[in-house]
Amino acid sequence: MSPRAAGLEVRGLSVRLGGRSVLEDVSFKAPAGALVGVLGPNGAGKTTLLRALLGVVPFSGEVDMTGEIAYVPQSGSVNSSFPIDAFGVVAMARYPRRRWGWRLTSADRALALAMLDEVGLAAEARRPFDELSGGQRQRVLVARALAQEGDVLLLDEPLAGIDLPSQETILDVIAARCRRGALALMTTHDLAQAARVCQRLVLLDRVLIAEGPNEEVMRTDVLRRAYGTSLLVIDDGAVIVNDGAHHDH
């Protein structure tokens, strides 16, 4: 787990799916140590951006990435009734390194347990995944990403719908990694939370609306370009986004 300086630069990234343009000419930079929030209304292409960075969807444009990727998918995409325990989930991160092997080394297993401990779930190591709460499951998935030992953390809606203590734990853990040189990219629907915990923001609505430090993006005129009529501005400057369903591509 050597902390190297990670880095990410995206230039002119475009994605077409099913004949439609889902992302167009998106460019931004994310330096080491940054927790970057990716924001935008439904259908803005937030998840697609992550999937392009993972190499799962084809794209045009350029991506310069320093460091290896670790990925936390949306918790809803996981088969939660699968017979596996919390430790098993985290340990899964280590298997790709073993090629055709079946058994993990004791170092692998020690690392997995340590990551589980870091998210506060060492005591639940042998609990079936389907018996864990939503917040606990999300923490396990984050622990799994940490066990991948990547310096570029890609997280898809990691804080959505889970209890506050779990959210705090996850943010603490990610922040700790970032302080050691990692870089984290996190999609989210929660504007207020993004403003609070992220250092940089990328605002998308198929195209790049704005990117940069929080104060550059968190402005009413900027937000309006992405959220349009979903935005409600109250007279003392408070801004509410009416963001209905949580579907993304």
Q: Cβ closer to other proteins: 18 or 237?
A: 18
Q: Where would I find the H helices in 62-133?
A: 86-91, 106-118
Q: Cβ closer to other proteins: 69 or 217?
A: 69
Residue type, 107: A
Q: Where would I find the H helices in 29-105?
A: 46-54, 86-91
Token couple for 213: 């430090």
Q: Which helix (H) or strand (E) holds 137?
A: helix 134-147
Tell me the closest approach of the beta carbon of residue 223 to other proteins, in angstroms.
29
How are the residues of the chain apportioned to helix, strand and coil, as percentages rounded to the nearest 5?
A: 40, 30, 35
Q: Cβ closer to other proteins: 5 or 125?
A: 125
Q: Cβ closer to other proteins: 145 or 223?
A: 145
Minimal CA–CA distance to 39: which of 218, 173, 174?
218
Task: Give the single-character DSSP code of 41.
Answer: S
Q: Cβ closer to other proteins: 76 or 161?
A: 76
Tell me the closest approach of the beta carbon of residue 196 to other proteins, in angstroms.
27
Alpha-carbon distance of 129 to 145, in angstroms, equals 16
Catalog residues that contact other proteins under the rule CB under 8 A: 17-18, 54-56, 69, 71, 73-74, 77-79, 81-85, 87-89, 92, 95-96, 98, 100, 102-104, 106, 109-110, 113, 122-123, 125-126, 128, 144
Tell me the closest approach of the beta carbon of residue 170 to other proteins, in angstroms.
17
Q: Which helix (H) or strand (E) holds 13?
A: strand 7-17
Tell me the closest approach of the beta carbon of residue 217 to other proteins, in angstroms.
27
> What are phi and psi for residue 101, nearest 5 degrees?
-75, 160
Tell me the closest approach of the beta carbon of residue 60 to other proteins, in angstroms.
15
Tell me the closest approach of the beta carbon of residue 112 to other proteins, in angstroms.
9
Q: Cβ closer to other proteins: 105 or 242?
A: 105
Q: Cβ closer to other proteins: 86 or 191?
A: 86
Token couple for 172: 């603490």
Alpha-carbon distance of 228 to 219, in angstroms, equals 13
Tell me the closest approach of the beta carbon of residue 245 to other proteins, in angstroms.
18
214-221, Cβ contacts within 8 angstroms, sequence gap of 24 or more: 217/39, 218/191
